[in-house]
Structure 1
Amino acid sequence: MAAHLLRLRLDLLLGALRGDARHVTRVLLALLALIVVVAGVVIGTLRLQTAGVDVAAAVTIVAGSALTLGVFAAAFMGGIDDQLDPRRFAVFGLSPLSVAGSTFAAGILSLPVLALIVVAVAVGRLWVGLGASVALTIVAAVLGALTCALTAKVALAFAGLVLPGRRSRELAGVFLVAVLVVVIPTALFFVSLEWNGQVPSALREAVEVLSVTPLGAAWAIPAASLSGSFTGPLLVAIATVLALGALWVWLVHRLLTTAERPAVARERGGLGWFALTPSTPAGGIAARSLIYWLRDPRYIVNLAIVPVVAVVVIVPLLIVGVPPAYVALIPAPLMALFFGWIAHNDLAYDSTALWMHVASAVRGASDRIGRLVPVLLVGLASLAVVVPLTVSLHGRWAILPAMAGVCASLFLSGLGLSSLASVVSPYAVSRPGDSPFQQPQRTHGGLSQGVVLLGALVLSVPALWWGWRAVAVDVDETWPALWAGLAIGLVVLIIGVVAGGAVFERRGGRLMEFAEST
Structure 2
Amino acid sequence: MVAAVLRLRYRLLGNTLARSPWQLVGFVFGILGAVWVLGAVIAGLVAASILQGLDTARGIAVVGGSALLLGWALGPVLVAGADATVDAERLAPLPISSRQIMVALTGTGLTGIPGIATCIAALSSVVLWIRWPVAAIVAVPMAVIAVLTCVLVSRLVTTLSSGLSGRRRGREIVGTVVLGLVIMTGPITTGILSLLDAAGDLPTQLGTAGTVLGWTPIGAAWAVAGDVAAGSWLPALFKVVIAVGTLAALWFGWARALHASTGTRPVQTTKAVKAGTLGLFGVLPTGGVGATWARSLTGWLRDPRYLRQLIFVPLFPALFAFTGGVDGGGFGASAIIVAMTLAIAGYADVSYDGTAFAAVLSSGITGRVDRWGRVLGAASVGVPAVIVVAVVVAAVGGGWDHLPAVLGGALGLLLVGYGVSAVSSALIVVPVPRAGDSPFKTVPGQTFASGMLVFAVLGASLVLGAPALILAVVATATASASLGVVALVTGVVVGAGVIVAGVFIGGRILDRTGPSLLQRIKAFPI
Q: TM-score, structure 2 length as denominator?
A: 0.49
| Larger RCO (alpha carbons 8 Å, 6+ apart) | 2
Q: TM-score, structure 1 length as denominator?
A: 0.50
